[in-house]
Amino acid sequence: MKLLVVGSGGREHAIAKKLLESKDVEKVFVAPGNDGMTLDGLELVNISISEHSKLIEFAKTNDIAWTFIGPDDALAAGIVDNFNQAGLKAFGPTKAAAELEWSKDFAKEIMVKYGVPTAAYGTFSDFEEAKAYIEEKGAPIVVKADGLALGKGVVVAETVEQAVEAAHEMLLDNKFGDSGARVVIEEFLDGEEFSLFAFVNGDKFYIMPTAQDHKRAYDGDKGPNTGGMGAYAPVPHLPQSVVDTAVDTIVKPVLEGMIKEGRPYLGVLYAGLILTADGPKVIEFNARFGDPETQIILPRLTSDFAQNITDILEGKEPAITWTDKGVTLGVVVASNGYPLDYEKGVELPAKTGGDIITYYAGAKFAENGQDLLSNGGRVYMLVTTADTVKDGQNIIYNQLDKQNTEGLFYRNDIGSKAIKD
């Protein structure tokens, strides 16, 4: 069987690489992908994620069994609806179901309606009203652009002034375009954050190992928010009872609620959670795999990934199995200046082998067709599975020490929250 993965980043590299390992899969195409993926035998298709009709035409012409949709903006643009209308199978939520991600206000309304624990909030399109709410509630407080902002439209404000400034930038300065035409302002929740992913079809869902992402650009959770600088799974210090509570109080009611709303969910649901003194609460939902979490979750899957997704698409019970070995940890290597302005065209170190996987997020062949060059904010990610977080850190950081990462940077503390002093 031949499969298509839509997207271009490290997440899509991990999905496509895992699918290609499945026994009945002869070819995996990635549209548009990036050149680094070809080193793993993946075939690139030069069609952008917004060209739905061209993607559909490609899938039909090449006898694609089904398509896995990676990015949030394609889902929000209704790519799954378009594939389904053309009689094609796609793994991902419809535009209506993906609204859980593309409108933070909608997600909040669903949570309130179905009793899902989350932060108290207000939604505003008027700056003066937003400002009054911030001044009434005080700081710390969180200001979010309502729409998609590539994981960067969230400001955790330490002061009232900072929060007002963030609301001003989103509502009046148009910092995030239409995504910031409304803002959601919510109480700051204190606790440890973790990600819970599930494969979903309707009210049937299959939970993946817990993961912890590192959003800030620099060590010690300093600097601006990014798409994510590294992650590990499972989170060893998170008891199973917390996961069970999250499933019962968050995942189940939301999926049942979406069915009642006439928006049944198919695809990967990503719950960004925080463990507070009152138990797990939702920070946000995403309607797809996270990046970089995918790159540390999928290597732990021991069952046949393509068969698992085929079964879920057909409403059959999938036989999903995970390794119980240790921890999988990965560190993202990004271009200097990311998430703001950054240079491209830095020569990249050779792809790793053995126990260290290299996933490429933003890589492009030089004109000689040999050397890989940086071509994005996040460039590549090194991932390994080891007995403990500490062992995983040692393996990855020793490898990074050996690599020439001039013009690039990475965090030196990925996974450190899991290591008790």
Note whether 2-92 and 327-418 share their fold: no
Q: Which two tokens stand for residue 171?
A: 């509502």
CB 167 within 8 A of CB 124: yes
Residue-by-residue pLDDT tens, the chain, 421 positions: 999 999 999 999 999 999 999 999 999 999 999 999 999 999 999 999 999 999 999 999 999 999 999 999 999 999 999 999 999 999 999 999 999 998 888 999 999 999 999 999 999 999 999 999 999 999 999 998 887 665 567 889 999 999 999 999 988 987 776 765 789 899 999 999 999 999 999 999 999 999 999 999 999 999 998 999 999 999 998 999 999 999 999 999 999 999 999 999 999 999 999 999 999 999 999 999 999 999 999 999 999 999 999 999 999 999 999 999 999 999 999 999 999 999 999 999 999 999 999 999 999 999 998 899 999 999 999 999 999 999 999 999 999 999 999 999 999 999 998 987 5
Provide CATH code, domain 192-313. 3.30.470.20
At the second CATH level, the architecture of 327-418 is Alpha-Beta Complex (3.90)
What residues does each domain of the chain span? Answer: 2-92, 120-187, 192-313, 327-418
Tell me the residue type at 231: A
Provide CATH code, domain 2-92. 3.40.50.20
Q: Is 262 exposed, middle or buried (0-12, 13-18, 19+ CB in 10 A)?
A: exposed
Q: In 346-398, where do the E strands start and end?
A: 357-360, 363-365, 372-374, 378-386
CB 356 within 8 A of CB 399: yes
For 217, list phi and psi in degrees, rounded to 5.
Answer: -70, -35
Burial 141-160 (b: 16+ CB within 10 A, else e): bbbbbbbbbebbbbbbbeeb
Provide CATH code, domain 120-187. 3.30.1490.20
- Among the listed residues 12, 2, 85, 88, the one whose alpha carbon sits nearest the alpha carbon of residue 288: 12
Q: What is the pTM of this model?
A: 0.92
